[in-house]
Chain A
Amino acid sequence: MRLTSAIALLLVATASFSAVLPEDRADILYHSYDGDNVTIQGPSLLIRKKFAENFSASANYYVDSVSSASIDVVTTASPYTEERTQYSVGMDFLHDRWILNLGLSNSEENDFTANTLSIGISQDFFGDLTTVSLGYSLGDDEVRRRGDANFGDTIQRQNYRLGISQIVTRNLLLGFSVETVTDEGFLNNPYRSVRYVDPGSAIGFSYEPEIYPRTRTSQAAAFRWRYHLPYRAALHGEYRRYGDTWDISADTFEIGYSHPIGSSWILEGKVRSYSQSRADFFSDLFPRAQYQNFLARDKELSSFSSQTLHLGVSYNIARSGWWIFERGSVNFSYDYIEFDYEDFRDLRQPAAIAGDEPLFNFGADVLQFFISFWF
């Protein structure tokens, strides 16, 4: 695997066509998520600037301010608030018609630290009709547990990425990407529990801590397309297939439409459909305590589907330039996401017999407001 990747990298590096660095731009975004009694909001600032002709540097500051009373929290723990802060820096280097990029990222929470190093290379071929990119990331995470100074563990993550984008006709653009991710370490959520049938309990069940395998490897492949309609508008779509060693498989479909109005406005609409099968060690209710080696009742590992409706609008500002900026845009988007679980039950609505509770579902509202400037 690594040898093949190295050969592919070498070939990419020795082929010859042109490439361009990303545009200089600055983005200021405010994001808000509200669903299942969880609110997450905060800013994201991204700036990118070229220098010394063939370098481009980027920096991102991102915050999640979380206030959670989700179903997992209210049934087995206490509501909490916390903040996650992420700093990322990156550098792109254009040399002899290929682009090499390097990125570093640090994410901090009071119970989780994630550090990631990414490298990548991309190259245009066939008179710039085809772009091939390869990437690798190495992550080193530290997992802690609030209120338990004796607990501490680590996760090592590795990502391998290949992407191809292809201009097919003057109206059609195709993209294909594959990514393999391997994780090794403490992959549980350290706060969550599973439930099992307990005849000695008044409610018919009791809880015990989750136990996950310490390794997980996943493969994902995605195919996407964008088509420029005879008038100035674009149709776009995507399909992604996913599978992993925990026996989760998933399919994602997206289709969208982008419609400019004049030279100032762009309206966008998109629908997305996602469905997954459960991990082989997931159960909403195990028959007894310590029923098997690995135990999970994390709803993200259950069988469920989600449907998204996305609406967005962009308005171009400062079209003839302002101060040091060439142009800008003001953007707003709203997503409604509906999650429907097929084997995760809502324990806030008790049943006479454990396991007969209604299935859980919830809707989430996601808002984004951002201003972008090019300079």
Chain B
Amino acid sequence: MQRTIFLLGIALLLSACSVEPWVKPYERDRIADPIMSFDRNPVSSSYTHHVYEAREGARGATGSAGGGCGCN
């Protein structure tokens, strides 16, 4: 799956320079609102991910860099 994702990524990158932005910079006021941020408070989301990672079997793809757990 990882390989397919990377190949799709490459195709996306190769076509990057020929596309006009369909949401103009002056139309991005709502997107720029802090309530639309995927990670408005990194110190809090990092802690929350740690709480789950220590108690659940699943890990990864949480949107943050991760790191050592040491959850013995």
Contacts and interface: CB of A to CB of B under 8 A. Distances in A.
Contacts, number: 230
A276 B56 contact: yes
A368 B47 contact: yes
A194 interface: no
Interface in A114-138: 114-116, 118, 120, 125-130, 132, 135, 137
A368 B6 contact: no
A137 B17 contact: no
B35 A1 contact: no
Contact of B9 (A8, A27, A112, A116): A8
Interface string B28-72: 111101111010011110111001100111111111011111101
A240 interface: yes
Interface residues of A, number: 105
Task: Say whether chain A's binding surface is mostly helix, strand, loop, or mixed.
Answer: strand
Contacts of A171: 30-31
Interface of A: 1, 4-5, 7-8, 11-12, 15-17, 27, 29, 31, 33, 44, 46, 60, 62, 84, 86, 88, 103, 105-107, 109, 111-116, 118, 120, 125-130, 132, 135, 137, 139, 141, 143, 157, 159-165, 167-171, 173, 175, 177-181, 189-191, 218-222, 224, 226, 228, 232-234, 240, 242, 244, 246, 248, 250, 252, 258, 260, 266, 274, 276, 279, 300-301, 306, 331, 333, 335, 337, 339, 366, 368, 370, 372
> Ordered nearest first, which 10 A-B pairs have the shortest CB separation?
A114-B68, A127-B21, A179-B60, A220-B61, A220-B60, A242-B58, A250-B58, A27-B43, A112-B70, A222-B61
